[in-house]
Amino acid sequence: MNKKRILGIAIFVVLILAVVGIKFFQDGGFEDDSNLTTVYVATGGGKDKFLKDEEVVKILRKKYKLNVVYDSWSNGDTVRIPLIREYNKNGNQSIVERISKGEEFSITSPEVSTYDALYTSDQRFYDYYKLKPDKTKNEPDRYTVLDGGLTLNTPIVIYSWKEVVEKLEKENVVTNRDGVYFITDMDKLMKYILDGKKWKDIGLTELYGSINIASTDPVTSSPGTTYYGLLLSILSGGEVTNENININLPKLKEFYIKSGYMNNTPADLFERYLKTGMGGEPMIVDYEKSIIDFSISNPNGFKQVKDNIVILYPSPTSWNSHCFAAFTENGKKLLEAYNDEEIQRIAWEKYGFRTGITGGTYDVSKVGLGIPQSLSSTVPSLKMDTYNALINYLKGE
Protein backbone atom coordinates (compact mmCIF):
# COMPACT_ATOMS: atom_id res chain seq x y z
CA MET A 1 0.00 0.00 0.00
CA ASN A 2 1.54 3.34 -1.05
CA LYS A 3 2.06 6.29 1.29
CA LYS A 4 -0.68 8.42 -0.31
CA ARG A 5 -3.29 5.68 0.26
CA ILE A 6 -2.19 5.22 3.87
CA LEU A 7 -2.31 8.99 4.42
CA GLY A 8 -5.81 9.15 2.89
CA ILE A 9 -7.09 6.38 5.17
CA ALA A 10 -5.51 8.07 8.19
CA ILE A 11 -7.15 11.40 7.39
CA PHE A 12 -10.53 9.65 6.93
CA VAL A 13 -10.21 7.91 10.30
CA VAL A 14 -9.27 11.19 12.00
CA LEU A 15 -12.33 12.90 10.49
CA ILE A 16 -14.60 10.11 11.69
CA LEU A 17 -13.14 10.32 15.18
CA ALA A 18 -13.55 14.10 15.16
CA VAL A 19 -17.23 13.83 14.24
CA VAL A 20 -17.80 11.19 16.91
CA GLY A 21 -15.95 13.34 19.45
CA ILE A 22 -18.00 16.43 18.68
CA LYS A 23 -21.21 14.43 18.99
CA PHE A 24 -19.96 12.90 22.22
CA PHE A 25 -19.29 16.25 23.88
CA GLN A 26 -22.53 17.75 22.53
CA ASP A 27 -24.39 14.95 24.30
CA GLY A 28 -22.49 15.61 27.50
CA GLY A 29 -20.00 12.76 27.31
CA PHE A 30 -20.47 9.41 29.01
CA GLU A 31 -23.44 9.43 31.32
CA ASP A 32 -22.65 8.60 34.91
CA ASP A 33 -25.65 6.56 36.03
CA SER A 34 -24.32 6.54 39.57
CA ASN A 35 -25.03 10.27 39.70
CA LEU A 36 -28.72 9.78 38.87
CA THR A 37 -31.60 9.52 41.33
CA THR A 38 -34.12 6.81 40.42
CA VAL A 39 -37.75 7.81 40.83
CA TYR A 40 -40.49 5.18 40.77
CA VAL A 41 -43.86 6.30 39.41
CA ALA A 42 -47.18 4.50 39.10
CA THR A 43 -48.75 5.96 35.99
CA GLY A 44 -52.12 5.83 34.25
CA GLY A 45 -52.39 5.53 30.48
CA GLY A 46 -52.79 8.04 27.67
CA LYS A 47 -49.30 9.56 27.82
CA ASP A 48 -46.94 6.62 27.28
CA LYS A 49 -45.23 8.04 24.19
CA PHE A 50 -44.65 11.38 25.90
CA LEU A 51 -43.10 9.75 28.98
CA LYS A 52 -40.80 7.62 26.79
CA ASP A 53 -39.84 10.49 24.48
CA GLU A 54 -36.07 10.53 24.03
CA GLU A 55 -35.83 14.31 24.42
CA VAL A 56 -37.88 14.26 27.63
CA VAL A 57 -35.85 11.39 29.08
CA LYS A 58 -32.62 13.19 28.17
CA ILE A 59 -33.72 16.44 29.86
CA LEU A 60 -34.71 14.57 33.02
CA ARG A 61 -31.38 12.75 33.12
CA LYS A 62 -29.02 15.54 32.05
CA LYS A 63 -30.62 18.59 33.62
CA TYR A 64 -32.39 17.14 36.64
CA LYS A 65 -30.28 14.01 37.24
CA LEU A 66 -33.38 11.83 37.39
CA ASN A 67 -33.81 8.31 36.09
CA VAL A 68 -37.55 7.66 36.03
CA VAL A 69 -39.08 4.18 36.13
CA TYR A 70 -42.75 4.10 35.12
CA ASP A 71 -45.06 1.21 36.01
CA SER A 72 -48.39 1.17 34.15
CA TRP A 73 -51.49 1.04 36.35
CA SER A 74 -55.17 1.34 35.60
CA ASN A 75 -56.59 4.37 37.37
CA GLY A 76 -59.08 2.24 39.26
CA ASP A 77 -56.44 -0.11 40.64
CA THR A 78 -54.52 2.76 42.23
CA VAL A 79 -57.26 3.10 44.86
CA ARG A 80 -58.48 -0.51 44.84
CA ILE A 81 -55.27 -2.40 45.66
CA PRO A 82 -52.10 -1.45 47.59
CA LEU A 83 -49.92 0.85 45.49
CA ILE A 84 -46.65 -1.10 45.66
CA ARG A 85 -44.54 -2.29 42.73
CA GLU A 86 -45.07 -5.94 43.59
CA TYR A 87 -48.79 -5.73 42.75
CA ASN A 88 -47.57 -4.63 39.31
CA LYS A 89 -45.26 -7.72 39.23
CA ASN A 90 -42.16 -5.57 39.66
CA GLY A 91 -39.78 -5.01 42.57
CA ASN A 92 -39.20 -7.82 45.09
CA GLN A 93 -39.95 -11.00 43.15
CA SER A 94 -40.27 -13.15 46.27
CA ILE A 95 -43.12 -10.91 47.39
CA VAL A 96 -44.62 -11.05 43.87
CA GLU A 97 -44.64 -14.84 44.24
CA ARG A 98 -46.27 -14.65 47.67
CA ILE A 99 -48.95 -12.28 46.31
CA SER A 100 -49.70 -14.80 43.55
CA LYS A 101 -50.38 -17.37 46.30
CA GLY A 102 -52.90 -15.08 48.00
CA GLU A 103 -50.78 -13.37 50.64
CA GLU A 104 -51.68 -9.73 51.23
CA PHE A 105 -49.33 -6.77 51.60
CA SER A 106 -49.66 -3.03 52.21
CA ILE A 107 -47.54 0.03 51.48
CA THR A 108 -46.05 -0.31 54.99
CA SER A 109 -45.18 -4.03 54.77
CA PRO A 110 -41.45 -4.81 55.21
CA GLU A 111 -39.36 -5.24 52.05
CA VAL A 112 -42.03 -4.07 49.60
CA SER A 113 -41.06 -1.66 46.82
CA THR A 114 -42.84 1.65 47.27
CA TYR A 115 -43.51 4.50 44.85
CA ASP A 116 -42.31 8.07 44.85
CA ALA A 117 -45.31 9.36 42.91
CA LEU A 118 -48.60 8.62 41.22
CA TYR A 119 -49.34 10.05 37.76
CA THR A 120 -53.03 9.56 37.03
CA SER A 121 -54.68 10.09 33.66
CA ASP A 122 -57.93 11.30 35.20
CA GLN A 123 -58.34 14.07 37.76
CA ARG A 124 -61.10 12.29 39.66
CA PHE A 125 -58.63 9.60 40.72
CA TYR A 126 -56.08 12.20 41.80
CA ASP A 127 -58.71 13.99 43.89
CA TYR A 128 -59.94 10.70 45.31
CA TYR A 129 -56.47 9.43 46.17
CA LYS A 130 -55.88 12.44 48.42
CA LEU A 131 -58.86 11.41 50.57
CA LYS A 132 -58.64 8.89 53.38
CA PRO A 133 -59.30 5.35 52.16
CA ASP A 134 -62.86 4.13 52.62
CA LYS A 135 -62.41 1.08 54.82
CA THR A 136 -66.07 0.09 54.38
CA LYS A 137 -65.09 -0.64 50.75
CA ASN A 138 -61.87 -2.39 51.82
CA GLU A 139 -59.73 0.32 50.23
CA PRO A 140 -56.03 -0.04 51.11
CA ASP A 141 -53.87 2.47 52.95
CA ARG A 142 -52.47 5.28 50.80
CA TYR A 143 -49.33 7.37 50.71
CA THR A 144 -49.45 10.93 51.98
CA VAL A 145 -49.46 13.37 49.06
CA LEU A 146 -46.75 15.95 49.76
CA ASP A 147 -47.30 17.98 46.60
CA GLY A 148 -49.02 17.66 43.27
CA GLY A 149 -51.46 18.97 40.75
CA LEU A 150 -52.31 19.14 37.09
CA THR A 151 -49.45 18.76 34.61
CA LEU A 152 -51.00 17.77 31.26
CA ASN A 153 -54.38 18.77 29.86
CA THR A 154 -56.40 17.99 26.76
CA PRO A 155 -60.05 18.92 26.17
CA ILE A 156 -62.87 16.66 25.03
CA VAL A 157 -63.67 17.43 21.38
CA ILE A 158 -65.85 15.98 18.64
CA TYR A 159 -64.22 15.13 15.34
CA SER A 160 -66.38 15.44 12.25
CA TRP A 161 -66.21 16.30 8.54
CA LYS A 162 -66.84 19.47 6.53
CA GLU A 163 -70.10 18.35 4.95
CA VAL A 164 -71.55 17.31 8.31
CA VAL A 165 -70.50 20.55 9.99
CA GLU A 166 -71.99 22.67 7.20
CA LYS A 167 -75.39 21.08 7.84
CA LEU A 168 -75.07 21.48 11.61
CA GLU A 169 -74.30 25.17 11.08
CA LYS A 170 -77.55 25.55 9.15
CA GLU A 171 -79.35 23.83 12.04
CA ASN A 172 -77.84 26.45 14.41
CA VAL A 173 -76.15 23.68 16.37
CA VAL A 174 -72.61 24.71 15.40
CA THR A 175 -71.08 28.20 15.26
CA ASN A 176 -67.83 29.26 13.57
CA ARG A 177 -65.91 31.80 15.63
CA ASP A 178 -62.73 33.06 13.98
CA GLY A 179 -62.11 29.73 12.29
CA VAL A 180 -62.87 27.61 15.36
CA TYR A 181 -66.05 25.53 15.39
CA PHE A 182 -68.07 25.34 18.61
CA ILE A 183 -71.14 23.26 19.36
CA THR A 184 -73.12 26.13 20.80
CA ASP A 185 -76.38 24.21 21.21
CA MET A 186 -75.38 20.89 22.69
CA ASP A 187 -78.89 20.44 24.12
CA LYS A 188 -80.33 20.55 20.61
CA LEU A 189 -77.82 18.03 19.30
CA MET A 190 -78.57 15.69 22.20
CA LYS A 191 -82.30 16.04 21.51
CA TYR A 192 -81.73 15.09 17.87
CA ILE A 193 -80.03 11.92 19.05
CA LEU A 194 -82.63 11.08 21.71
CA ASP A 195 -85.48 11.71 19.25
CA GLY A 196 -83.90 9.42 16.65
CA LYS A 197 -83.55 12.18 14.05
CA LYS A 198 -81.99 10.90 10.81
CA TRP A 199 -78.99 12.33 9.00
CA LYS A 200 -81.20 12.78 5.95
CA ASP A 201 -83.51 14.99 8.04
CA ILE A 202 -80.79 17.65 8.14
CA GLY A 203 -79.91 17.28 4.46
CA LEU A 204 -77.22 14.59 4.57
CA THR A 205 -78.98 12.19 2.20
CA GLU A 206 -75.77 10.25 1.54
CA LEU A 207 -75.61 9.14 5.19
CA TYR A 208 -77.82 6.36 6.49
CA GLY A 209 -79.31 5.89 9.92
CA SER A 210 -79.85 8.18 12.88
CA ILE A 211 -77.68 11.06 14.00
CA ASN A 212 -75.12 9.77 16.45
CA ILE A 213 -71.80 10.64 18.06
CA ALA A 214 -69.57 7.59 18.47
CA SER A 215 -67.61 7.33 21.70
CA THR A 216 -65.72 4.77 23.70
CA ASP A 217 -67.76 2.87 26.27
CA PRO A 218 -68.20 5.00 29.43
CA VAL A 219 -68.52 1.84 31.52
CA THR A 220 -65.05 0.55 30.60
CA SER A 221 -63.14 3.50 29.15
CA SER A 222 -61.93 6.67 30.87
CA PRO A 223 -62.48 8.91 27.78
CA GLY A 224 -66.03 7.62 27.47
CA THR A 225 -66.65 8.24 31.16
CA THR A 226 -65.32 11.80 30.88
CA TYR A 227 -67.61 12.44 27.89
CA TYR A 228 -70.71 11.12 29.65
CA GLY A 229 -69.76 13.17 32.69
CA LEU A 230 -69.75 16.22 30.41
CA LEU A 231 -73.18 15.28 29.05
CA LEU A 232 -74.49 14.89 32.60
CA SER A 233 -73.14 18.34 33.49
CA ILE A 234 -74.80 19.88 30.42
CA LEU A 235 -78.14 18.21 31.18
CA SER A 236 -77.82 19.47 34.77
CA GLY A 237 -77.21 23.06 33.72
CA GLY A 238 -73.54 22.95 34.70
CA GLU A 239 -74.06 21.79 38.29
CA VAL A 240 -74.88 18.18 39.17
CA THR A 241 -76.95 17.88 42.35
CA ASN A 242 -78.63 14.99 44.16
CA GLU A 243 -81.95 16.20 42.77
CA ASN A 244 -81.16 16.69 39.08
CA ILE A 245 -78.91 13.63 38.74
CA ASN A 246 -81.94 11.37 39.34
CA ILE A 247 -83.81 13.22 36.60
CA ASN A 248 -81.00 13.15 34.06
CA LEU A 249 -79.53 9.66 34.48
CA PRO A 250 -82.49 8.02 32.66
CA LYS A 251 -81.91 10.40 29.71
CA LEU A 252 -78.25 9.43 29.62
CA LYS A 253 -79.16 5.74 29.77
CA GLU A 254 -81.39 6.23 26.73
CA PHE A 255 -78.58 8.14 25.01
CA TYR A 256 -76.21 5.28 25.88
CA ILE A 257 -78.52 2.63 24.44
CA LYS A 258 -79.07 4.59 21.20
CA SER A 259 -75.30 4.91 20.74
CA GLY A 260 -75.03 1.21 19.89
CA TYR A 261 -71.64 -0.50 19.50
CA MET A 262 -68.73 1.24 21.22
CA ASN A 263 -64.98 0.81 20.99
CA ASN A 264 -63.12 0.25 24.25
CA THR A 265 -60.05 2.30 23.35
CA PRO A 266 -59.90 5.84 21.93
CA ALA A 267 -57.02 4.86 19.64
CA ASP A 268 -59.19 2.25 17.89
CA LEU A 269 -62.07 4.70 17.53
CA PHE A 270 -59.87 7.47 16.15
CA GLU A 271 -58.25 5.09 13.67
CA ARG A 272 -61.69 3.92 12.52
CA TYR A 273 -62.76 7.56 12.08
CA LEU A 274 -59.76 8.29 9.87
CA LYS A 275 -59.99 5.09 7.82
CA THR A 276 -63.74 4.92 7.21
CA GLY A 277 -64.32 8.65 6.67
CA MET A 278 -67.64 10.43 6.83
CA GLY A 279 -69.60 7.39 5.73
CA GLY A 280 -68.26 5.23 8.53
CA GLU A 281 -67.98 7.70 11.40
CA PRO A 282 -69.67 11.07 10.79
CA MET A 283 -68.88 12.23 14.35
CA ILE A 284 -66.75 10.80 17.14
CA VAL A 285 -65.69 11.89 20.63
CA ASP A 286 -62.00 11.98 21.45
CA TYR A 287 -59.31 14.22 22.89
CA GLU A 288 -57.84 17.23 21.12
CA LYS A 289 -54.35 15.76 21.47
CA SER A 290 -55.18 12.86 19.12
CA ILE A 291 -55.08 14.92 15.93
CA ILE A 292 -51.83 16.68 16.92
CA ASP A 293 -50.17 13.38 17.77
CA PHE A 294 -51.38 11.97 14.44
CA SER A 295 -50.11 14.97 12.46
CA ILE A 296 -46.60 14.43 13.88
CA SER A 297 -46.46 10.63 13.78
CA ASN A 298 -48.09 10.27 10.34
CA PRO A 299 -47.55 13.51 8.34
CA ASN A 300 -48.47 11.91 5.00
CA GLY A 301 -51.72 10.51 6.37
CA PHE A 302 -52.49 13.87 7.97
CA LYS A 303 -52.07 15.67 4.63
CA GLN A 304 -54.64 13.36 3.06
CA VAL A 305 -57.39 14.17 5.57
CA LYS A 306 -56.61 17.63 7.02
CA ASP A 307 -58.69 19.55 4.47
CA ASN A 308 -61.84 17.59 5.34
CA ILE A 309 -61.48 17.13 9.10
CA VAL A 310 -63.25 19.57 11.41
CA ILE A 311 -62.72 19.73 15.17
CA LEU A 312 -65.83 20.69 17.11
CA TYR A 313 -65.51 22.08 20.62
CA PRO A 314 -68.58 21.47 22.81
CA SER A 315 -69.59 24.61 24.64
CA PRO A 316 -69.01 23.92 27.43
CA THR A 317 -66.44 21.16 27.21
CA SER A 318 -64.38 19.44 29.91
CA TRP A 319 -60.73 18.62 30.41
CA ASN A 320 -59.01 15.29 30.56
CA SER A 321 -56.39 16.17 33.16
CA HIS A 322 -53.28 14.15 33.95
CA CYS A 323 -52.39 14.91 37.56
CA PHE A 324 -49.19 14.18 39.46
CA ALA A 325 -49.09 13.29 43.17
CA ALA A 326 -45.67 13.32 44.84
CA PHE A 327 -45.20 11.05 47.87
CA THR A 328 -41.49 11.67 48.52
CA GLU A 329 -38.89 14.38 48.05
CA ASN A 330 -37.72 12.58 44.91
CA GLY A 331 -41.28 12.66 43.63
CA LYS A 332 -41.36 16.42 44.26
CA LYS A 333 -38.17 16.82 42.22
CA LEU A 334 -39.82 15.07 39.28
CA LEU A 335 -42.92 17.23 39.61
CA GLU A 336 -40.71 20.32 39.42
CA ALA A 337 -38.97 18.91 36.35
CA TYR A 338 -42.27 18.50 34.50
CA ASN A 339 -42.72 22.26 34.75
CA ASP A 340 -39.59 22.70 32.61
CA GLU A 341 -40.41 24.93 29.62
CA GLU A 342 -38.66 22.63 27.16
CA ILE A 343 -40.57 19.58 28.41
CA GLN A 344 -43.84 21.50 28.18
CA ARG A 345 -43.00 22.55 24.61
CA ILE A 346 -42.42 18.91 23.65
CA ALA A 347 -45.69 17.91 25.35
CA TRP A 348 -47.64 20.25 23.06
CA GLU A 349 -45.73 20.20 19.79
CA LYS A 350 -45.26 16.43 19.60
CA TYR A 351 -48.15 15.01 21.63
CA GLY A 352 -50.84 17.69 21.79
CA PHE A 353 -50.93 18.10 25.57
CA ARG A 354 -51.72 21.57 26.86
CA THR A 355 -49.87 22.44 30.03
CA GLY A 356 -51.94 25.24 31.55
CA ILE A 357 -55.44 25.65 32.85
CA THR A 358 -56.67 27.16 29.56
CA GLY A 359 -53.64 26.41 27.39
CA GLY A 360 -49.98 27.31 27.26
CA THR A 361 -48.05 30.02 25.47
CA TYR A 362 -47.38 27.94 22.35
CA ASP A 363 -48.73 28.74 18.88
CA VAL A 364 -51.72 26.52 18.10
CA SER A 365 -51.92 27.80 14.49
CA LYS A 366 -48.96 25.59 13.52
CA VAL A 367 -51.26 22.56 13.46
CA GLY A 368 -53.21 23.99 10.53
CA LEU A 369 -56.66 23.20 11.94
CA GLY A 370 -59.22 25.26 13.84
CA ILE A 371 -57.78 24.96 17.34
CA PRO A 372 -58.39 27.75 19.88
CA GLN A 373 -55.46 29.28 21.73
CA SER A 374 -57.39 28.91 24.99
CA LEU A 375 -60.69 27.56 26.25
CA SER A 376 -62.83 29.37 28.79
CA SER A 377 -66.19 27.57 28.44
CA THR A 378 -65.52 24.45 30.47
CA VAL A 379 -67.13 22.52 33.31
CA PRO A 380 -65.15 21.09 36.25
CA SER A 381 -64.48 17.40 36.63
CA LEU A 382 -67.17 15.54 38.55
CA LYS A 383 -66.42 13.85 41.86
CA MET A 384 -65.72 10.14 42.05
CA ASP A 385 -69.08 9.33 43.69
CA THR A 386 -70.94 11.06 40.85
CA TYR A 387 -69.00 9.15 38.20
CA ASN A 388 -69.62 5.90 40.07
CA ALA A 389 -73.35 6.63 40.20
CA LEU A 390 -73.33 7.36 36.47
CA ILE A 391 -71.41 4.20 35.54
CA ASN A 392 -73.50 1.97 37.80
CA TYR A 393 -76.72 3.37 36.34
CA LEU A 394 -75.53 2.72 32.78
CA LYS A 395 -74.58 -0.82 33.78
CA GLY A 396 -78.04 -1.33 35.25
CA GLU A 397 -76.84 -1.78 38.82
Q: Which domains does the chain have, with CATH numbers?
A: 33-152+326-332 (no CATH), 153-320+368-395 (3.40.190.10)
pLDDT band of residue 125 (cuts 50, 70, 90) is: very high
Q: Where does the pLDDT of residue 20 fall: very low under 50, low under 70, confident under 90, or very high at 90 and above?
A: very low
> Where does the pLDDT of residue 62 fall: very low under 50, low under 70, confident under 90, or very high at 90 and above?
very high
Strands 37-43 vs 117-120: parallel, antiparallel or unpaired: parallel
Rg, C-alpha atoms of the chain = 25
Q: Does residue 5 carry a pLDDT above 70?
A: no
Query: pLDDT band at 375, cuts 50/70/90?
Result: confident
Q: Over the stretch 291-330, which tens digit does the pLDDT of each residue have?
A: 999 999 999 999 999 999 999 999 999 999 999 999 999 9
Confidence of residue 69 (pLDDT cuts 50, 70, 90): very high
In tens, the pLDDT along 220-235 reads 888 899 999 999 999 9
Please check the confidence at residue 362 and state whether its pLDDT lies above 90: no
State residue 135's pLDDT score. 95
Average pLDDT over residues 3-7: 56
Percent of the chain topping pLDDT 70: 89
Three-class HEC string of the chain:
CCHHHHHHHHHHHHHHHHHHHHHHHHCCCCCCHHHCEEEEEEECCCCHHHHHCHHHHHHHHHCCCEEEEEEECCCCHHHHCCCCHHHHCCCCHHHHHHHHCCCCCCCCCCCCCCCCEEEECCHHHHHHHCCCCCHHHCCCCCCCCCEEEEEEEEEEEEEEEHHHHHHHHHCCCEEEECCEEEECCHHHHHHHHHCCCEHHHHCCCCCCCECCCECECCCCCHHHHHHHHHHHHHHCCCCCCHHHHHHHHHHHHHHHHHCCCCECCHHHHHHHHHHHHHHHCCCEEEECHHHHHHHHHCHHHHHHHCCCEEEEEECCECEEEEEEEECCHHHHHHHHHCCCHHHHHHHHHHHCCECCCCCCCCCHHHHCCCCCCCCCCECCCCCHHHHHHHHHHHHCC
Average pLDDT of the chain, as a whole number: 89
CA separation for the pair 201, 214 (Å, rounded): 19
pLDDT in tens, 238-284: 889 888 999 999 999 999 988 877 877 888 999 999 999 999 999 99
Give this prediction's pTM: 0.86
The pLDDT tens digits of the residues spanning 25-59 come to: 445 444 566 699 999 999 999 999 999 999 999 99
Q: What percent of the chain has pLDDT over 90?
A: 76
pLDDT at 126 over 60: yes
Q: Residue 193: CA atoms inside 13 Å, Cβ hemisphere, count?
A: 21
